[in-house]
Structure 1
Amino acid sequence: MLAQIIQNLPQVLIDGLTLGVVYAVVAIGYTMVYGILELINFAHGDVFMTGAFIGATVLFLMLGMGFLAAMPALIVFLIVIVVAGIATGLLGVGIERVAYRPLRRKNAPKLIALITSIGISFVLEDAVRFIAELKTGNYIVTAPSMFNHRFNLNLHHIMPFFDNATFQGSFLLVLAVTIVMLVSLDLFVNKTKWGMAMRAVAQDRDTASLMTINVNRVISVTFFIGSALGGATGVLFMIQYGTIDPYIGFILGIKAFTAAVLGGIGNIRGAMFGGVMLGLLEMFAAANLSIITHGAMGAEYKDVFAFIILILVLIFKPEGLFGKAVVEKV
C-alpha cells in the first residue's frame, strides 16, 4: 500500500499544487473582507465563477474575430485575464455599495450581512445561468483549448519508486500567474500607503477614520482587489479545466473558505498557505483513499475529506494555523 502511495506522489503534487493555488487566491478574497469588516462574503465564490464566464465570453469573442489565430496565445490570455479581473473587481465594488454599505450604515447585525451575501450568491448563479442559456442554449460551457500541450516527467528512470507524471502547459501558466498575483498582493498590503490604510482599518475602523483615512474608500478598494483576484483566478480555472458552469463557485468557494480558516481567517499569508495545503491534501485523498480503505471509499469522497479538515481545525485550533487567539477584554 505504501509503495503505491509513493508511486503516485509526483502526480498528486502536480495536481494538488494546481488546485491549491486556485484555492489560495480565492481564500485571500474571503480573508481580506473578513479582516476589515469581519464579514464572511459567501458571494465571493460566485464572483470567481462570474470571472470564469466573463473570461470565456471574451475568449469566444476573440475567437470569432480571428484574434486567436492572429495573436500569440499568451497575449490573448493576458487580455482575457485583465478584462475579467477589472470586470469582477467592479462587480465586487458594486456588491459592496448596493448590498453591504447600507447595512453597515444602519449598524445591522452581522448575521444580516451574512444572509445578504448568501442571497447575492444565488442571484449571481441564476443570472449567469440565464445569460449562458440565452446565448448558448446550455449553462455548461466548454472554453476554447489553450496551452493544452502535455509534458511528461520521466521520473521512473531516475527514481524507480516514482511513477511518471504528466501535466499540461496550462499548469505552468496557472502556477506562474498565481505566484505573481500572490507576491504582488503581499507587497501591496505591506509596502504601500493603501496597504497601510487597509491594515489600519482592519485594526480599528473608528480610530482609522479619526486619522483622516476614508474608511468607505478603503473598503471599496479591498472589495475591488479581492474580487479582481477572484475573477482572474476564475480565468485560470477555465484555462486549466476547460469546462465551467454557474455552480462551480459554490463548492470551490466553501473550500476556499475552509483554506482561509485553516491558515487563519484574516491572515493573507495564512490564506495562501491554507489554500496550497488544502489542495495537496485533497488530491492526496482523491488519489489514495481507495488504496487506504481497500476500495470502501473512492475519489468522490475527497470533498468530505476537505470538510473533515475544517471541522478538526475549528475544534482543535479555531484561530487557524497562522491566526492569533483573540482575548476579549472585559
Structure 2
Amino acid sequence: MSLRTQLSDILPSLLPNNPAEAIKGTELIRLVRLQLTGNYSDASLRYHFSIMSCDPASPIAKVEKGQGYYRRSAPVPALSGAQELLSLSQGRLDDLNSDRGAVDHALERVKKFRAIVRRFNELNGRFPFEFREAFSAGSPLGNLWKYPEVAVVDWQTGDDPDEGMSLDSKMLAMKQRLGLPPFRLSGARLRIQSTLHSYREDFFQALSGSMWTQGGELIYAAPIEDGALADGLRALNATFGVGVISYGLSIEVLDDLPRAANILNAHPKETEALMERIDFNRIAAPRYRQHIDWSLLDTLRRDSSETTKLIEWLASCIEKGRAEPLAD
C-alpha cells in the first residue's frame, strides 16, 4: 500500500476538526508512525502532508496563517456541486473548465453556505441532517429530485430550561396516541443565488425532494432583489406550499467569510459575529402537512443507507426522551 493511501486512511482519526486546534507537523508525524507500515523519513512525511493539504479531496488541510494541520470539512456532494456550478455559470460549464481555481472558489462558497445554514438551524433549536451519499459521484441524477440536501427536525421540547433539550413527555405521549410524529420533519434545497432562468427548477426540486416529509423549503444564500423573481417564487409557493428563504449573503460576503471548518467550530463570540452578517428574509412561508409519507419513506430507506441512519437517529431521540444532534 502506498504512503499516500495509508495516510488517507490514518489521518482522519488523528486530525482535529477545529482549525484553532490544529496539530503541529512534528506531533502529527509521531502519531502517524504509530500506525504506519513501512520506514519513511520525516522529510517524506512532511512532503506528503504538504502535497495532500493542497488537494481538496484529501482529508488533511493546513491552516491558512500559521502552522499546523486539521481535518478538512466534507466536500460538496458531487451532484449538488455540479448543479450549483451549472447555475452559477449560467449553463456554460466550459467557462469554468479552463479555470480550476474558479471551480474550487465556487465550491468553497457552497461549503461555507452549508456550514452557515447548519449553524443557524442549530442555534435556533432545529436539528439538521445532511444527505451526502445520495449526491455522491456515480449516483443517479434522479436523486436531485428524490432527496433534499438537508432534512430539518423540529422537536417539541419541554419549557423547563433545566431540562435542556428533553422532549415534552406529555406532548410526546399525546401525539403517539393520535398517530402523529412527535416532531416536524422538513426537507430543504440549498442554492447560492436565484435567477429567472433557474428558479423553477430549484423550486420543483425542493418540492419533489420533500414529498415524503411534512414540508419543504428552498433556501438561497444571496438576497432576492428582482421583484419579478420574488413574485414568481411566491406564485409557486401559493400553489405548492414550498417555503422560500434568503439569508441575504451576497457572493462578496460569502467570499469574506472564514472557511467552512472555521464556521462549524467557531467560539460563541465568533459565531455571534457570523450570525449578525445574515440578513434573513422569508419570501414565502412553507405549508406543513400533519403526516409523513411513511410508504415513500420506507421506499427511500430501502434505497439509501442515509435514510436508515435518519430513522435510527429519530428513533434514538424518542427512546432517550431527548432531542440530540446527530453525531458526525
Q: TM-score if structure 1 supplies the norm length?
A: 0.23
Larger strand percent: 2
Q: Which has the higher contact order (CA 8 A, sep 6+)?
A: 1
